[in-house]
Amino acid sequence: MTKSTLEYAKQLDERDTLRRFREEFYLQPGSIYMDGNSLGLLSKRAERTLFESVEDWKKYGIDGWTQGQHPWFELSERLAEMLAPLVGARADEVIVTGSTTVNLHQLVATFYQPEGKRTKIVADELNFPTDIYALKSQLRIHGFDPEHHLIEVKSRDGRTIEEEDIITAMSDEVALVILPTVQYRSGQLLDMKRLTDEAHKRGILIGFDGCHSVGSIPHAFSDWDVDFAYWCNYKYLNGGPGGVGGLYVNRKHFGAEPGLAGWFGSRKDVQFDLLHTFTPADNAGAYQIGTPHVLSMAPLLGSLEMFAEAGMEQIRKKSLEINEYFMELIDAELADFGFEIGNLRDDVRRGGHVCLEHLEAARICKSLKEHGVIPDFRAPNVIRLAPIALYTSYEDVWNVVQILKEIMDEKQYEKYTNERETVA
């Protein structure tokens, strides 16, 4: 039986050790969701824990801070304990708080300490724009011109960043390095351990944006000695739109004064003393700023239950296998239509999505939606397609390739303009 048959896809589904989790999610009839790397789907467990928190509010009012099924006062710490194994950290090194950009501002405000000629920050030119905006903003606050003090490592091919080029940029003028774990367009997975080792050899602190990897690949932030990291919880972790983010701070930095202090970063036993002298928590909890967004955190409680049951090793195993199958089908069925796979093929260098490039990418995405396939467009020419380990089937992947073939065969995309929609 050849790999390009529907029967083969169904056989793969029968052997899928994670297939039971598919029933946990609200999958819409007639739709194939391929955008879980932008926003994960709602699960029944996430819905349950959200409603449980609403019920706590309804029943207890202000006493919900310390009573109910999910008391709010230490909810961030409870979630951190559940999340820590996914990022390879100790529970006290993780906190669920803020959002990606707010957490980046907090961490840079704390760990960017320009001194002498060490004033520059290294990033890369392919990173998601919000990180660059934040870094430029922090440089201006310190009185530095981003044009001269932000080093954006160049890509050789417009898709990937070579680790050698990042290491070369780590000069004695650099105070801080901020990089993505996975490039958001091409899905390139960077070698975090190597980059951390090289930064530390040069006396440079290094932090990672894990938005496109947490929940998709295993991490070992503590073992790698990463200084800090930050991420959102609404993509692969299915925490809900606008869900609260997460951050990691290596325990060797505990005791550092947070750059942006706020009352929820206080040590818990003195927080409600309400003194004007800030006593930061002696763990990652110190990096909280304001009151936690309880109803935006609650769905993550249910979602993380499934990750604990499935295990990150099994999730990564299926993710690699289903994406490999996807790429093999694309090679076999779509090679004559001008598609090119823009992500790296080596397992250790790719994240959780397929980067499919085409000159008519925006039009093709619109046509896919007409067929019930939910993709993701990224300018200028990328169709991101993400089979998610917990809820995407091999049959889904087979069907997407067949739909793409039909769209291209019949030139159905030509009725659309090759421009992105308001939300791409």
CATH number at residue 23: 3.90.1150.10
- Residues 263 and 359 occupy one common structural domain: no
Q: How far apart are CA 1 and CA 305, in angstroms?
A: 37
All residues at 6 or more sequence positions from 421 whose CB lies less than 8 Å from its CB, including other chains: 366, 377
Record the pTM.
0.97
- Residues 125 and 252 occupy one common structural domain: yes
Q: Does the annotation list 56 as a binding residue?
A: no
Section 255-261 average pLDDT: 95
Q: Does the annotation list 168 as a binding residue?
A: no
- Residues 181 and 79 occupy one common structural domain: yes
Chain segment 69-100, per-residue pLDDT in tens: 999 999 999 999 999 999 999 999 999 999 99
Section 320-340 average pLDDT: 97
- Residues 184 and 75 occupy one common structural domain: yes
Section 163-185 average pLDDT: 98
- Residues 26 and 100 occupy one common structural domain: no
Q: Does the annotation list 110 as a binding residue?
A: no
- Residues 186 and 93 occupy one common structural domain: yes
**Of 278, 293, 309, which marks where a domain is finished?**
309
Handedness of CA 318, 319, 322, 324 (dihedral sign): negative
Section 144-159 average pLDDT: 98
Longest CA pairwise span in the chain (Å) = 72
Q: Does the annotation list 212 as a binding residue?
A: yes
- Residue-level pLDDT at 2: 85
In this prediction, residue 421 has a pLDDT band, given cuts at 50, 70 and 90, of confident
Whether residue 158 is contained in a domain is answered as yes
Chain segment 224-255, per-residue pLDDT in tens: 999 999 999 999 999 999 999 999 999 999 99
**Of 275, 309, 343, which marks where a domain is finished?**
309
Confirm if 25 and 33 have CB atoms less than 8 A apart. Answer: no
Whether residue 94 is contained in a domain is answered as yes
- Residue-level pLDDT at 1: 64
Q: How far apart are CA 342 and CA 334, in angstroms?
A: 14
How many other C-beta atoms are found inside a 10 Å radius of the C-beta of residue 31? 13
Q: How far apart are CA 73 and CA 67, in angstroms?
A: 9
What's the CATH code of the domain at 225?
3.40.640.10
- Residues 177 and 325 occupy one common structural domain: no
In this prediction, residue 419 has a pLDDT band, given cuts at 50, 70 and 90, of confident
| Res 181 pLDDT > 80 | yes
Q: Does the annotation list 149 as a binding residue?
A: no
Q: Does the annotation list 277 as a binding residue?
A: no
Give the tokens for residue 240. 């809900």
Give the tokens for residue 375. 């993709």
- Residues 137 and 56 occupy one common structural domain: yes
Q: Does the annotation list 263 as a binding residue?
A: yes
Q: Does the annotation list 172 as a binding residue?
A: no
Whether residue 403 is contained in a domain is answered as yes
In this prediction, residue 407 has a pLDDT band, given cuts at 50, 70 and 90, of very high
Whether residue 38 is contained in a domain is answered as no
Section 325-354 average pLDDT: 97
Q: Which domain holds residue 68?
A: 48-309
- Residues 320 and 302 occupy one common structural domain: no
Beta-strand pair 174-180/354-357: unpaired
In this prediction, residue 423 has a pLDDT band, given cuts at 50, 70 and 90, of confident
Whether residue 41 is contained in a domain is answered as no
**Of 274, 293, 309, which marks where a domain is finished?**
309
Whose tokens are 């006062």? That residue is 73
Q: What is the dihedral of CA 170, 176, 180, 181, to 10 degrees?
A: 80
Confirm if 265 and 211 have CB atoms less than 8 A apart. Answer: no
- Residues 303 and 340 occupy one common structural domain: no
Element (H, E) at 80: helix 75-87
Number of domains, the chain? 2
Whose tokens are 């090289």? That residue is 198
| Res 424 pLDDT > 80 | no
- Residues 251 and 189 occupy one common structural domain: yes
Whether residue 139 is contained in a domain is answered as yes
Q: Does the annotation list 291 as a binding residue?
A: yes
Whether residue 111 is contained in a domain is answered as yes
Residue type, 141: I
- Residues 121 and 178 occupy one common structural domain: yes
Whether residue 406 is contained in a domain is answered as yes
Confirm if 96 and 79 have CB atoms less than 8 A apart. Answer: yes
How many CA atoms are closer than 13 Å to the CA of 332, on its beta-carbon side?
Answer: 13
